[in-house]
Structure 1
Amino acid sequence: MKMHEIREIIKLIDQSSIQEFNLETEGAKVSLKKSNGTETIVVTQPAVQAPVAAPVAHIPAQPVVAAAPVAAEAPKAAAVQAADDANLHKIVSPMVGTFYSAPEPGKPAYVQAGDKVNASKVVCIVEAMKLFNEIEAEVSGEIVKVLVEDGQLVEYGQALFLVKPE
């Protein structure tokens, strides 16, 4: 297992609500556990001459930042936005992973705001553990808004697009 793969796993776990993660593949074992504001990471791989365990790293968890008080007009705007969003279909991520709007770098995005889609139209890719999963629209309609940016990490159930159904 390569270090960049381990770093990607750490990022995904850090940004999720998962408290413990274990992976065994091709003789390598990765164990991640969040507790008391730190993550404990243990990686072991068999060496050619002798088994060696990688050092345990302690990575501080990201601090929780409280939002500043909001003016009285913000709840009114949020209520109007929520009412508009209630009529829209949300295309959500079926897994934790990295969002890609195009089939490969340099290519045009699958869809943009204003595009018409049908239920089987691929709208994006979510990559998880080096598997590229095509996400379909699920409904026919018009893409109203793209809610995430290309390359952004997404959570399970996170809304990716808003679609005005036909």
Structure 2
Amino acid sequence: MLKVQEIRELIRLIDQSGIDEFTYESNGTKLVMKKNQMVESKISRNQQPTVIEAPKKPVEEKPEQRMNDKQSVKVSPQEEQQNREKEKQQVETNDGDYHKIVSPMVGTFYRAPSPGAEPYVKVGSKVTEKTIVCIVEAMKLFNEIEADVKGEIVDCLVEDGQLVEYGQPLFLVKTE
């Protein structure tokens, strides 16, 4: 038989976890806990079941729900990224003389050598064939990516921390 303190501890642990439902059986005692619902303790020894109400968390309102009708609707991050990609594709198709620095592997793109550090290159930076422009992390290895052309960075096509695919354009360079 569980003690009251043990049941309280279980309720606290379940409340803090991502578990929605918990069942415990021992020596003819069955304890069932469900988040945001009633939690029951059923005892099979001709005793009345004990009902314990689990603490309810307040439902947080999302910022979009608080907006009034006069404000403009916010664009989701995915739609924002798609809009940026379309704009960049238009730049690429309008000016075919830009060189694309592409990712040589699948991984995570980083513009700087460490968090808080200055990026390797910015729009307007002059680069040579050996200039490091970014890092792509793959399998816990940080791979420095070189420009491989001489010119000026025109655009960075990827956000810091974004996953990139093999052959995905990272930068546009106006070659000299």
TM-score with structure 1 setting the length: 0.51
* Corresponding residue to 2:129 among 119, 128, 145: 119
SS in structure 2 of the partner of residue 105 of structure 1: coil
Between the two proteins, the alignment pairs up a number of residues equal to 90
Q: Which has the larger radius of gyration?
A: 2
Q: Moved runs in structure 1, 4+ residues, more than 2 A?
A: 78-81
Distance 1:135 1:80 in 2: 23
Aligned-pair RMSD on alpha carbons?
Answer: 2.0
* Corresponding residue to 1:129 among 128, 131, 139: 139
**What CA deviation, in whole Å up to 9, does each residue of 1:112-166 have, x standing for no partner?**
1000001100000000000000000000000000000100000000000000001
Contact 2:92 2:98 in 1 (8 A): no
* More helix, by proportion: 2
2:168 maps to 158
SS in structure 2 of the partner of residue 94 of structure 1: coil
* More strand, by proportion: 1
> Any gaps of 5 or more consecutive residues in structure 2?
1-88
1:109 maps to 119
TM-score with structure 2 setting the length: 0.48
**What CA deviation, in whole Å up to 9, does each residue of 1:1-47 have, x standing for no partner?**
xxxxxxxxxxxxxxxxxxxxxxxxxxxxxxxxxxxxxxxxxxxxxxx
Q: Which has the higher contact order (CA 8 A, sep 6+)?
A: 1
Distance 2:94 2:160 in 1: 27
> Any gaps of 5 or more consecutive residues in structure 1?
1-77
SS in structure 1 of the partner of residue 159 of structure 2: coil
- Percent of aligned positions that are identical: 69
